[in-house]
Amino acid sequence: MTTPTRSTMRLILLLAVLLKMVTGSHQARAQTAAPQAKLSVHWEELTAADFREGIRRSQATCLLPFGILEKHGPHLPLGTDLLDVRYSALHGAEQEYAVVFPEYYFGQIAEAKHEPGTVAYSREMQLALLQETTDEMARNGCKKVIIVNGHGGNDSLLPFFAQTQLDKPHDYVVYIFDERTPSSGGPAKKTKIDMHAGESETSNMMISRPDTVHLDRAANESGADQHRQDLPEGLYTGIWWYARFPNHYSGEGSAATKELGEYQMKWWIDSVVKAIRAVKADDASLKLQNEFYEKSKHPLDTQP
Protein backbone atom coordinates (compact mmCIF):
# COMPACT_ATOMS: atom_id res chain seq x y z
CA MET A 1 0.00 0.00 0.00
CA THR A 2 1.38 3.36 -0.96
CA THR A 3 0.59 6.59 0.88
CA PRO A 4 -0.31 9.55 -1.33
CA THR A 5 2.25 12.28 -1.51
CA ARG A 6 1.32 15.84 -0.58
CA SER A 7 1.14 16.89 -4.28
CA THR A 8 -1.14 13.93 -5.10
CA MET A 9 -3.38 14.95 -2.18
CA ARG A 10 -3.54 18.51 -3.53
CA LEU A 11 -4.44 17.14 -6.98
CA ILE A 12 -7.23 14.98 -5.51
CA LEU A 13 -8.57 17.94 -3.55
CA LEU A 14 -8.48 20.14 -6.64
CA LEU A 15 -10.31 17.50 -8.67
CA ALA A 16 -12.94 17.17 -5.93
CA VAL A 17 -13.49 20.94 -5.91
CA LEU A 18 -13.72 21.02 -9.73
CA LEU A 19 -16.19 18.10 -9.72
CA LYS A 20 -18.37 19.87 -7.16
CA MET A 21 -18.34 23.05 -9.23
CA VAL A 22 -19.40 21.13 -12.36
CA THR A 23 -22.19 19.12 -10.69
CA GLY A 24 -23.25 22.21 -8.70
CA SER A 25 -23.75 24.25 -11.85
CA HIS A 26 -25.66 21.31 -13.38
CA GLN A 27 -27.98 21.31 -10.38
CA ALA A 28 -28.40 25.06 -10.61
CA ARG A 29 -29.31 24.76 -14.29
CA ALA A 30 -31.76 21.96 -13.50
CA GLN A 31 -33.37 24.09 -10.80
CA THR A 32 -33.84 27.10 -13.07
CA ALA A 33 -34.95 24.90 -15.99
CA ALA A 34 -37.62 23.01 -14.05
CA PRO A 35 -40.16 25.86 -13.74
CA GLN A 36 -40.09 26.32 -17.54
CA ALA A 37 -41.55 22.81 -18.00
CA LYS A 38 -45.10 22.66 -19.38
CA LEU A 39 -47.67 23.20 -16.63
CA SER A 40 -51.31 22.24 -17.06
CA VAL A 41 -53.73 25.16 -16.95
CA HIS A 42 -56.34 22.88 -15.30
CA TRP A 43 -56.51 23.55 -11.54
CA GLU A 44 -57.51 19.92 -10.87
CA GLU A 45 -54.64 18.43 -12.87
CA LEU A 46 -51.84 20.23 -11.00
CA THR A 47 -50.00 18.70 -8.06
CA ALA A 48 -49.89 20.87 -4.94
CA ALA A 49 -46.32 21.95 -5.71
CA ASP A 50 -47.12 22.61 -9.37
CA PHE A 51 -50.18 24.62 -8.29
CA ARG A 52 -47.83 26.93 -6.38
CA GLU A 53 -45.73 27.31 -9.53
CA GLY A 54 -48.91 27.86 -11.60
CA ILE A 55 -49.99 30.76 -9.38
CA ARG A 56 -46.51 32.27 -9.67
CA ARG A 57 -46.45 31.87 -13.44
CA SER A 58 -49.98 33.23 -13.87
CA GLN A 59 -49.08 36.30 -11.78
CA ALA A 60 -51.95 35.32 -9.47
CA THR A 61 -54.46 35.40 -12.34
CA CYS A 62 -57.09 32.66 -12.42
CA LEU A 63 -60.08 32.01 -14.66
CA LEU A 64 -63.50 30.86 -13.53
CA PRO A 65 -65.38 29.76 -16.67
CA PHE A 66 -69.07 29.96 -15.82
CA GLY A 67 -71.68 27.85 -17.63
CA ILE A 68 -75.07 26.35 -16.90
CA LEU A 69 -77.22 23.23 -17.32
CA GLU A 70 -80.23 24.10 -19.49
CA LYS A 71 -82.01 22.98 -22.62
CA HIS A 72 -80.37 24.17 -25.82
CA GLY A 73 -83.02 23.71 -28.49
CA PRO A 74 -83.83 20.19 -29.67
CA HIS A 75 -80.28 19.51 -30.90
CA LEU A 76 -77.58 20.70 -28.47
CA PRO A 77 -76.53 19.27 -25.10
CA LEU A 78 -77.61 20.68 -21.74
CA GLY A 79 -74.06 21.69 -20.91
CA THR A 80 -73.50 23.69 -24.14
CA ASP A 81 -72.57 26.96 -22.40
CA LEU A 82 -70.06 25.32 -20.10
CA LEU A 83 -68.54 23.22 -22.90
CA ASP A 84 -68.09 26.30 -25.10
CA VAL A 85 -66.78 28.64 -22.43
CA ARG A 86 -64.31 26.07 -21.13
CA TYR A 87 -63.04 25.47 -24.66
CA SER A 88 -62.33 29.21 -25.04
CA ALA A 89 -60.96 29.72 -21.54
CA LEU A 90 -58.65 26.69 -21.62
CA HIS A 91 -57.26 27.55 -25.05
CA GLY A 92 -56.85 31.18 -24.01
CA ALA A 93 -55.03 30.21 -20.80
CA GLU A 94 -52.69 27.97 -22.77
CA GLN A 95 -51.62 30.97 -24.84
CA GLU A 96 -51.37 33.35 -21.87
CA TYR A 97 -50.86 31.26 -18.76
CA ALA A 98 -53.58 31.34 -16.12
CA VAL A 99 -54.94 28.69 -13.75
CA VAL A 100 -58.44 27.58 -14.77
CA PHE A 101 -60.97 26.56 -12.08
CA PRO A 102 -62.89 23.26 -12.64
CA GLU A 103 -66.42 22.95 -14.05
CA TYR A 104 -68.76 25.57 -12.56
CA TYR A 105 -72.42 25.74 -13.59
CA PHE A 106 -74.23 27.19 -10.57
CA GLY A 107 -75.75 30.28 -12.18
CA GLN A 108 -79.06 31.96 -12.97
CA ILE A 109 -81.46 29.87 -15.06
CA ALA A 110 -84.89 30.19 -13.44
CA GLU A 111 -86.46 30.86 -16.86
CA ALA A 112 -85.76 27.29 -18.08
CA LYS A 113 -87.17 25.39 -15.08
CA HIS A 114 -90.03 24.11 -17.24
CA GLU A 115 -87.59 22.16 -19.46
CA PRO A 116 -85.93 18.81 -18.68
CA GLY A 117 -82.39 18.77 -17.35
CA THR A 118 -82.28 22.36 -16.04
CA VAL A 119 -80.52 22.83 -12.70
CA ALA A 120 -81.64 26.14 -11.19
CA TYR A 121 -80.23 27.01 -7.77
CA SER A 122 -81.88 29.60 -5.53
CA ARG A 123 -80.56 33.16 -5.72
CA GLU A 124 -79.14 32.87 -2.18
CA MET A 125 -77.24 29.74 -3.17
CA GLN A 126 -75.95 31.25 -6.41
CA LEU A 127 -74.48 34.29 -4.66
CA ALA A 128 -73.19 32.42 -1.62
CA LEU A 129 -71.52 29.70 -3.66
CA LEU A 130 -69.94 32.17 -6.05
CA GLN A 131 -68.63 34.26 -3.14
CA GLU A 132 -67.19 31.25 -1.35
CA THR A 133 -65.67 30.01 -4.60
CA THR A 134 -63.87 33.27 -5.38
CA ASP A 135 -62.89 33.61 -1.68
CA GLU A 136 -61.35 30.14 -1.78
CA MET A 137 -59.61 30.87 -5.05
CA ALA A 138 -58.11 34.03 -3.52
CA ARG A 139 -57.08 32.19 -0.35
CA ASN A 140 -55.09 29.94 -2.66
CA GLY A 141 -53.32 32.86 -4.29
CA CYS A 142 -55.71 33.87 -7.11
CA LYS A 143 -55.68 37.59 -6.34
CA LYS A 144 -57.11 38.35 -9.77
CA VAL A 145 -60.17 36.24 -10.55
CA ILE A 146 -61.60 36.54 -14.06
CA ILE A 147 -65.12 35.11 -14.31
CA VAL A 148 -65.44 34.13 -17.96
CA ASN A 149 -69.15 34.03 -18.62
CA GLY A 150 -70.59 31.50 -21.07
CA HIS A 151 -74.30 31.93 -20.29
CA GLY A 152 -76.53 34.85 -21.30
CA GLY A 153 -78.79 34.32 -18.25
CA ASN A 154 -75.90 35.40 -16.00
CA ASP A 155 -75.73 38.87 -17.56
CA SER A 156 -77.38 40.58 -14.59
CA LEU A 157 -76.06 38.26 -11.87
CA LEU A 158 -72.38 38.79 -12.61
CA PRO A 159 -72.17 42.62 -12.61
CA PHE A 160 -74.29 42.53 -9.42
CA PHE A 161 -71.86 40.05 -7.87
CA ALA A 162 -68.94 42.30 -8.83
CA GLN A 163 -70.68 45.33 -7.31
CA THR A 164 -71.27 43.49 -4.04
CA GLN A 165 -67.51 42.96 -3.69
CA LEU A 166 -67.48 46.50 -2.32
CA ASP A 167 -69.68 45.43 0.62
CA LYS A 168 -66.65 44.50 2.68
CA PRO A 169 -62.89 44.31 2.14
CA HIS A 170 -61.46 41.61 -0.13
CA ASP A 171 -57.77 41.14 -0.84
CA TYR A 172 -58.49 40.24 -4.45
CA VAL A 173 -60.26 41.66 -7.50
CA VAL A 174 -63.17 40.06 -9.37
CA TYR A 175 -63.18 40.80 -13.09
CA ILE A 176 -66.15 39.85 -15.26
CA PHE A 177 -65.41 38.94 -18.86
CA ASP A 178 -68.70 38.68 -20.71
CA GLU A 179 -67.98 38.75 -24.43
CA ARG A 180 -68.83 35.66 -26.40
CA THR A 181 -69.60 36.66 -29.97
CA PRO A 182 -67.92 39.05 -32.39
CA SER A 183 -70.23 41.88 -33.44
CA SER A 184 -68.86 41.93 -36.99
CA GLY A 185 -66.60 40.08 -39.44
CA GLY A 186 -66.39 36.45 -40.44
CA PRO A 187 -68.78 34.45 -42.62
CA ALA A 188 -72.09 36.25 -43.26
CA LYS A 189 -74.92 35.09 -41.00
CA LYS A 190 -78.08 33.70 -42.53
CA THR A 191 -80.48 34.31 -39.62
CA LYS A 192 -81.66 37.46 -37.82
CA ILE A 193 -82.86 36.03 -34.50
CA ASP A 194 -79.98 34.10 -32.95
CA MET A 195 -80.05 34.28 -29.18
CA HIS A 196 -80.04 30.70 -27.93
CA ALA A 197 -79.03 27.43 -29.61
CA GLY A 198 -79.32 29.19 -32.99
CA GLU A 199 -76.87 29.69 -35.83
CA SER A 200 -74.00 31.09 -33.72
CA GLU A 201 -74.14 28.80 -30.74
CA THR A 202 -74.65 25.68 -32.84
CA SER A 203 -71.68 26.70 -35.03
CA ASN A 204 -69.52 27.11 -31.92
CA MET A 205 -70.45 23.67 -30.68
CA MET A 206 -69.43 22.23 -34.06
CA ILE A 207 -65.91 23.30 -33.06
CA SER A 208 -65.82 22.71 -29.29
CA ARG A 209 -67.78 19.42 -29.13
CA PRO A 210 -68.98 18.32 -32.59
CA ASP A 211 -69.78 14.84 -31.25
CA THR A 212 -72.65 16.30 -29.17
CA VAL A 213 -74.38 18.24 -31.98
CA HIS A 214 -77.50 16.67 -33.54
CA LEU A 215 -77.92 19.00 -36.51
CA ASP A 216 -80.59 16.73 -38.05
CA ARG A 217 -82.89 17.56 -35.07
CA ALA A 218 -82.38 21.35 -35.16
CA ALA A 219 -85.61 22.00 -37.09
CA ASN A 220 -87.77 19.71 -34.91
CA GLU A 221 -88.92 22.71 -32.84
CA SER A 222 -89.47 26.38 -33.54
CA GLY A 223 -86.95 28.93 -32.31
CA ALA A 224 -89.04 31.84 -33.65
CA ASP A 225 -89.92 34.89 -31.55
CA GLN A 226 -93.55 34.38 -30.44
CA HIS A 227 -94.12 37.97 -29.22
CA ARG A 228 -96.58 36.97 -26.50
CA GLN A 229 -96.11 40.10 -24.42
CA ASP A 230 -96.98 43.62 -25.46
CA LEU A 231 -94.93 46.07 -23.41
CA PRO A 232 -92.97 49.13 -24.49
CA GLU A 233 -89.17 49.07 -24.32
CA GLY A 234 -87.99 50.10 -20.87
CA LEU A 235 -90.44 47.89 -19.01
CA TYR A 236 -88.83 44.67 -17.84
CA THR A 237 -90.35 41.47 -16.46
CA GLY A 238 -88.70 38.16 -15.59
CA ILE A 239 -91.12 36.34 -17.86
CA TRP A 240 -89.98 38.21 -21.02
CA TRP A 241 -87.86 35.34 -22.27
CA TYR A 242 -90.56 32.72 -21.82
CA ALA A 243 -93.02 35.09 -23.50
CA ARG A 244 -90.82 35.28 -26.60
CA PHE A 245 -89.15 31.83 -26.69
CA PRO A 246 -91.23 29.26 -24.78
CA ASN A 247 -89.30 26.32 -26.30
CA HIS A 248 -86.11 27.73 -24.80
CA TYR A 249 -84.80 28.00 -28.32
CA SER A 250 -84.10 31.25 -30.18
CA GLY A 251 -82.98 31.07 -33.79
CA GLU A 252 -82.31 28.30 -36.26
CA GLY A 253 -79.61 25.83 -35.39
CA SER A 254 -79.86 24.25 -38.83
CA ALA A 255 -78.20 27.37 -40.33
CA ALA A 256 -74.96 26.61 -38.44
CA THR A 257 -71.67 26.03 -40.24
CA LYS A 258 -68.23 24.89 -39.16
CA GLU A 259 -66.71 27.96 -40.86
CA LEU A 260 -68.75 30.34 -38.69
CA GLY A 261 -67.84 28.27 -35.62
CA GLU A 262 -64.14 28.42 -36.45
CA TYR A 263 -64.25 32.20 -36.88
CA GLN A 264 -66.23 32.81 -33.69
CA MET A 265 -64.28 30.44 -31.47
CA LYS A 266 -60.97 31.87 -32.61
CA TRP A 267 -62.31 35.36 -31.87
CA TRP A 268 -63.48 34.19 -28.42
CA ILE A 269 -60.13 32.61 -27.57
CA ASP A 270 -58.23 35.73 -28.76
CA SER A 271 -60.56 37.88 -26.64
CA VAL A 272 -59.86 35.74 -23.56
CA VAL A 273 -56.10 36.09 -24.18
CA LYS A 274 -56.46 39.88 -24.40
CA ALA A 275 -58.49 39.93 -21.20
CA ILE A 276 -55.89 37.85 -19.30
CA ARG A 277 -53.11 40.18 -20.48
CA ALA A 278 -55.08 43.29 -19.48
CA VAL A 279 -55.79 41.84 -16.04
CA LYS A 280 -52.15 40.87 -15.48
CA ALA A 281 -51.13 44.43 -16.37
CA ASP A 282 -53.76 46.01 -14.09
CA ASP A 283 -52.16 47.26 -10.89
CA ALA A 284 -54.77 49.96 -10.24
CA SER A 285 -57.89 48.02 -9.25
CA LEU A 286 -56.64 46.42 -6.04
CA LYS A 287 -55.02 49.67 -4.88
CA LEU A 288 -58.27 51.56 -5.54
CA GLN A 289 -60.31 48.90 -3.76
CA ASN A 290 -58.08 49.18 -0.69
CA GLU A 291 -58.29 52.97 -0.75
CA PHE A 292 -62.08 52.71 -1.05
CA TYR A 293 -62.44 50.16 1.80
CA GLU A 294 -60.34 52.37 4.05
CA LYS A 295 -62.30 55.55 3.27
CA SER A 296 -65.64 53.77 3.60
CA LYS A 297 -64.86 53.05 7.28
CA HIS A 298 -65.11 56.79 8.06
CA PRO A 299 -67.04 58.56 5.28
CA LEU A 300 -67.32 61.84 7.22
CA ASP A 301 -63.56 62.28 7.05
CA THR A 302 -63.51 61.86 3.29
CA GLN A 303 -62.71 65.20 1.66
CA PRO A 304 -64.04 66.13 -1.77
- For Zn ion, the binding residues (CB under 5 A) are 80-81
Q: Closer to Zn ion at the Cβ: 217 or 277?
A: 217
CB atoms near residue 138 (< 10 Å): 19
Q: Closer to Zn ion at the Cβ: 170 or 196?
A: 196
Residue 199 near residue 186, CB atoms below 8 Å? no
Q: Closer to Zn ion at the Cβ: 4 or 246?
A: 246
Q: Closer to Zn ion at the Cβ: 61 or 80?
A: 80
Residue 280 near residue 206, CB atoms below 8 Å? no
DSSP string, 269-287: HHHHHHHHHHHHH--SHHH
Residues forming a β-bridge with 290: none
Q: How far is the CB of 98 from Zn ion (least distance, A)?
A: 23
Q: How far is the CB of 41 from Zn ion (least distance, A)?
A: 23
Q: Closer to Zn ion at the Cβ: 2 or 183?
A: 183
Question: Which residue is closest to Zn ion by CB?
Answer: 81
170 to 54, 127, 165, 292: CA distances (angstroms): 22, 16, 7, 11
Q: How far is the CB of 141 from Zn ion (least distance, A)?
A: 31
**Interaxial angle between packed helices 80-95 and 199-208, expressed in degrees from 0 to 180 and rounded to the nearest 10:** 60
Q: How far is the CB of 200 from Zn ion (least distance, A)?
A: 10
Q: How far is the CB of 76 from Zn ion (least distance, A)?
A: 8
Residue 234 identity (one-letter amino acid) = G
Q: Closer to Zn ion at the Cβ: 43 or 242?
A: 242
- 261 dihedral zone (left: phi>0; alpha: psi -120 to 50; beta): alpha
Q: How far is the CB of 293 from Zn ion (least distance, A)?
A: 36
22 to 10, 17, 26, 28: CA distances (angstroms): 18, 9, 6, 10
Residues forming a β-bridge with 144: 61, 173
